[in-house]
Amino acid sequence: MAWLWVILSATLFVYLLQQLLGPNNWKKLPPGPRGLPILGHFHLLGKNPHVDLCNLARKHGPVMGLRFGPVPAVVVMKRGEEKGSEDFVDTMMAIMESGKAAFEFDRRHIKAMLLDLLITGTDTSATAIEWAMSELMKHPTVMKKLQQELELVVGLDQMVDESHLNKLEYLDCVVKEALRLHPVVPLLIPHESMEDCELQERFIGSEIDLRGRHFELIPFGSGRRGCPGLQLGLTVVKLLVAQLAHCFEWELPIGMKPDDIDMSEHFGLVTARAKHLMAIPRYGLHVT
């Protein structure tokens, strides 16, 4: 039993030392759940931290004071707006032209960073597309409405291309709802549904945009911390979801119903499906 008392004494000592020598602003943190010595609030987070944080916010409010080990943190459910007219490339070019960088920085470095954005954007776009198709397969009436819009706007004698996207209002609603339900990087902004609604229909006739101007829906972040690949990623997701819904009629494996689709998440830097979506395509266009 002696070793147990040693461990308890050491834990208590470190905790008291932490409280005495820690930053003064710890006491200014907003209210939050009770933490543990040393660990802080790590014990409250499971395999899906974004879901756990949402549940904590329902109990303790949208602004919470948490501690991850010895590090204090303020978790905010919605962030304030930051305005700016320059994009990522503009900023990088301005730094290069100013000559004020503390290290060598030229066009080669800007190209390398843009290449990184393209590569990392591939995984997030693929994940967003799979979630959107999962929701469409789980809600056949929504899939049917989307296909009807595509047939009306595009027709069945050609494929959807980028020029059609601005005319596809229901597609815009589908993508918005998919990103609201399944943000690819959920810890960017923890979220919760404030009231019951019909899937996809919430955005019909709404001016809510997901480019960072309306904080009811900011899957790409906003302001200076927003995703620099927003336009490219959003275009890719919309175009591929539209082409998949337009070119094919989709069926589930034999004996499987829409309610049987497993929507479990696998948490990571990118929150993907725990199991890949299985569906059977049947080509439906009449392109000659």
> What CATH number is given to the structural domain containing 175?
1.10.630.10
Tally of domains within the chain: 2
Percent of the chain with pLDDT over 90: 28
pLDDT for position 200: 61
- Whole-number Å distance between alpha carbons of 287 and 281: 17
In a domain, 92, yes or no: no
pLDDT for position 3: 62
Is the domain of 141 the same as that of 194?
yes
Both tokens of 232, joined, read 């490219």
Is the domain of 258 the same as that of 154?
yes
- Whole-number Å distance between alpha carbons of 285 and 288: 9
Residue 45 is part of which domain span? 20-76
Average pLDDT over residues 41-69: 80
Q: Which of 78-82, 171-175, 224-228 has the highest mean pLDDT?
A: 171-175
In a domain, 85, yes or no: no
Is the domain of 138 the same as that of 270?
yes
Question: In this structure, what DSSP letter does residue 41 have?
Answer: T
In a domain, 242, yes or no: yes
pLDDT surpasses 60 at 227: yes
Among 41-50, 52-61, 163-172, 192-201, whose mean pLDDT is lowest?
192-201
Is the domain of 173 the same as that of 234?
yes
pLDDT for position 51: 79
Both tokens of 12, joined, read 């208590």
pLDDT for position 82: 44
- Whole-number Å distance between alpha carbons of 69 and 216: 31
Average pLDDT over residues 242-257: 94
- Whole-number Å distance between alpha carbons of 174 and 204: 10
pLDDT surpasses 60 at 241: yes
pLDDT for position 143: 96
Q: What is the mean pLDDT of the chain?
A: 77
Both tokens of 4, joined, read 């147990």
**Spatial contact of 15 and 38, defined as CB atoms under 8 Å apart:** yes
In a domain, 145, yes or no: yes
Both tokens of 269, joined, read 């830097």
Query: Phi then psi for 286, rounded to 5 degrees?
Result: -120, 45
In a domain, 141, yes or no: yes
Both tokens of 262, joined, read 């497993």
Nearest to 210 by CA among 261, 202, 160: 202
Is the domain of 29 the same as that of 153?
no
**Spatial contact of 247 and 285, defined as CB atoms under 8 Å apart:** yes
Confidence of residue 186 (pLDDT cuts 50, 70, 90): low
CA angle 6, 9, 10 (to 5 degrees): 85
pLDDT surpasses 90 at 150: yes
Is the domain of 39 the same as that of 160?
no
pLDDT surpasses 70 at 255: yes
Beta bridge partners, 75, equal 64
Is the domain of 165 the same as that of 274?
yes
Is the domain of 72 the same as that of 133?
no
Name the pTM for this structure: 0.59
